[in-house]
Chain A
Amino acid sequence: MTIDRTIASDDAANTPVAGSATKARMVGGIPVAWQRTAFFIAVVIAIALPFLVKNFTIFQLTTVMIYAIAILGLNLLTGYNGQFSLGHSTFIAIGAYTTAILMEFAGLSFYGTLPIAATICFAFGFLFGLPALRLESIYLALATFALAVATPQVLKLSPFEHWTGGVQGLLVFKPEAPFGLPLNSDQWMYFVTLAIGLGLAVCAVNLVNSRSGRAIKAIRDNPIAARAMGINISLYKTTTFGISAAYAGIAGSLSAVVVQFVAPDSFTFVLAIGLFVGLVVGGVGSITGALFGGLFLVFVPNIAEEVSKGLAGAVYGVILLLVIYLMPAGAVGLIRTAAMKLATRRR
């Protein structure tokens, strides 16, 4: 289920290994041909899957991609720009509620609400990025965590109840496939999410490898040097925060229609922590990693529950610890190391 593995190539180019060019065209120590093949296979599988598995599995995979989009946004912020966030559930909530409220009260179609949700989240993220400028690592983690904890309470605040539905939440209608396409609504939302996810991943790759992207990374690695080179740190940091929030908002908007329901309890700090875990497990500073993060978030709690119902939380915790010990660079790091070893051996 790796949809965009070539993307890792661009991504891996940033690692110092790239300097050792040999006869075969290599990026990040892995032959480009391998990555192309992997990407091609992954896309074929991703397109074929909805016709092969049950609707329920399609729903799960759609959820995986939605999480992946949010984690991708978080990765731009934390992995590439070095700003912590334990509060991205807030932006998911804003995105989801924007879509739900606009569909319910303004009669907009889902597709119409998507860009609005992204824009609103960008604005919120940008604004939150301003105070965040003054906060260093752990303090920023705490401030964003505070945001995540406060979100459900704000969502059910009685003065807003008319629009938010208060604690009862809002029901959302799931769009059917247009133009008489022979797809059911689960399959259709899967492809919508896949297309949006791929599009956002391509945007992320381009951003990271652009001039701005290098500035964003320079700020992470050495803010003082970056400033000396004339990079406007405040502007880059707040804009990155905004973009990251917009990604989360799009994920939220998609989740509202896929789950067909929004409520304050859907967006607790548990979600924010989940996204953070997904980021680290998938691979910090890796575009492909987001997908593994999404897979982890959807499937590992189910596995933990299979192992023991009473101790599901403990099993989850132990799995998490093992993952950190065994894959310090995340799932993508592990795959990359394995592929590099394989490539070296073949030479």
Chain B
Amino acid sequence: MDLFIHQVLAGLATGGIYACMALAIVMIYQAIHHLNFAQGEMAMFSTFIAWQLIEWGVPYWGAFFLTIVVSFIGGVVIERTVFKPLHNAPILAHIVAFIALFAIFNSVAGFIWDFTIKSFPTPFGQESLFGSGLMGAHDAGMIGVTLVLLVLLFLFFRNTRVGLSMRAAASNPDSARLVGVRVGWMIALGWGMAAAIGAVAGMMIAPVVFLEPNMMLAILIYGFAGAVVGGLTSPGGAVIGGFAVGIIENLAGTFIPVVGSELKLAIALALIVTVLMFKPTGLFGARIVTRV
């Protein structure tokens, strides 16, 4: 029973990582209705920028916010330069462009910063919480940051003009344009925000898994799992999905012999497919009705 509780708590901590990433995935999905396969690599690159700033002597929070700003601008620039020209291209071309971005970011990061793992500082401290060793202070802090982000996003999409315009632009570009929403810029804004959230996710995740160019590969897949399980249209769902994936993965790994520990990732992925089968929009996703 102890083992069970320990694994659930550890799953919650790991789930925080997935939830963080899942939020960034949902953000970009809200803006462009695509899954950005390069998202993890963008977040990794942002984290390296933060690391470099800290190495240069910038204090943690200065580097933190500076990185968010740089990432936001970077996201907007990528949309304007790479994806705007592809606006009318089929979705297949978009996916290939994501793959290209993935290769570029991964390779450039390795070229500049090398592949040796680097430790990334945490503002919350590395000691364990409540002295029990069950959850680290950083894990708890990361979960807190995720929840704060979630609330901010919720308020942004519900209560601000820009947030509403963005939703309008994503769900019905033509009508949105008619009422004066600048759809193109809304998409760019979505990219910027997704990149910024990705940067936060990266900076929260790096202290746990260590910073290196390939750090995001697996996390992105788990993040996808979390986002899809929760529903790509629901930030809250994505966060819950992230936690759920973390816990289920740990429990399966511990309590199902052989298969559980050797197929942890596969189990998470089977979860995606199962949820999609029964609820194609995710557990908390809104049903999208398409007109014929």
Task: Contacts A149-B265, A150-B263 given; indicate if A324 touches B96 (C-beta within 8 A).
Answer: yes
Task: With both chains docked as a complex, state the minimum distance between the C-beta of B280 and any C-beta of chain A, in angstroms.
Answer: 6
Q: Given contacts A311-B111, A328-B89, are A143 and B276 in contact (CB under 8 A)?
A: yes
A selection of 27 A-B contacts at a CB cut-off of 8 Å is A78-B92, A86-B95, A136-B280, A138-B33, A138-B34, A138-B91, A139-B228, A139-B276, A141-B95, A142-B224, A143-B273, A143-B276, A149-B221, A149-B265, A153-B263, A154-B263, A157-B263, A276-B95, A310-B107, A310-B110, A312-B107, A313-B110, A314-B107, A317-B99, A317-B104, A318-B100, A320-B100
A277 within 8 A of B: yes
Partner of A328, one of B34, B93, B228: B93
Contacts of B97 in A (CB 8 A): 320-321, 324
B277 at the interface (CB under 8 A from A): yes
Q: Of B33, B99, B110, B262, which contacts A157 at CB under 8 A? A: B262
B82 touches A321 (CB 8 A): yes
Interface string of B63-91 (1 = CB under 8 A from A): 00000000000000000001001100111
The answer, yes or no, to whether B148 is at the interface (CB within 8 Å) is: no
* B224, B228, B266: the one within 8 Å of A150 (CB): B266
A142 to B82, CA, bound (A): 23
Interface residue SS majority, chain B = helix
A312 to B111, CA, bound (A): 10
Given pairs A156-B262, A281-B96, 6 additional interface contacts (CB within 8 A): A147-B269, A150-B265, A157-B262, A312-B107, A320-B99, A325-B85
Q: What are the interface flags for A282-306 relative to B under an 8 Å C-beta threshold, 1 for contact and 0 otherwise?
A: 0010000000000000000000000
**Which of A135, A156, A279, A317 meets B100, CB within 8 Å?**
A317
Report yes or no: B35 in contact with A280, Cβ–Cβ below 8 A. no
**In the complex, what's the smallest C-beta–C-beta distance from B18 to chain A, in angstroms?**
14
Q: Are A318 and B99 in contact (CB under 8 A)?
A: no
Task: Give bound CA distance, A315 to B100, whole Å.
Answer: 9
When distances are taken between beta carbons in the complex, the residues of chain B under 8 Å from A276 are 92, 95-96, 99
In the complex, the answer to whether B96 meets A277 with C-beta atoms within 8 Å is yes
Beta-carbon contact of B269 and A149 below 8 Å: yes
Instruction: List residues of chain A with CB within 8 A of the CB of B221.
Output: 145-146, 149
B111 touches A310 (CB 8 A): yes
Task: Say yes or no for A345: interface residue by CB 8 A criterion.
Answer: no
Closest-CB distance, A83 to chain B (whole angstroms) = 12
- Whether, in the assembled complex, B179 has its beta carbon less than 8 Å from a beta carbon of chain A, the answer is no
Residues of chain A within 8 A of B91, CB atoms compared: 137-138
Main secondary structure, interface of A, reads helix
User: B286 in the interface, Cβ–Cβ < 8 Å?
Assistant: no
Q: Is the CB of A153 within 8 A of B265?
A: yes
Docked-complex contact A131 and B273, CB < 8 angstroms? yes
* Contact across chains for B258 and A320 when beta carbons are under 8 A apart: no
In order of increasing CB-CB distance, the 6 nearest A-B pairs are A313-B107, A146-B269, A317-B104, A317-B103, A150-B266, A320-B100
On chain B, the residues within 8 Å of A281 by CB distance are: 96
Interface centre among B33, B104, B270 (most CB of A within 10 A): B104
**A135 and B262 contact, Cβ closer than 8 Å, known pairs A142-B224, A310-B111, A314-B104:** no
Determine whether the beta carbon of A324 is less than 8 Å from that of B86: yes
**A78, A138, A224 — most chain B CB neighbours (10 Å):** A138
Which A residues touch B269, using CB under 8 A?
146-147, 149-150
Chain A, range 227-257, C-beta contacts under 8 Å to B: none
Q: Which of A135, A142, A284, A312 has the most CB of B within 10 A?
A: A142
Residues of B within 8 A of A324 (CB): 86, 89, 93, 96-97, 100
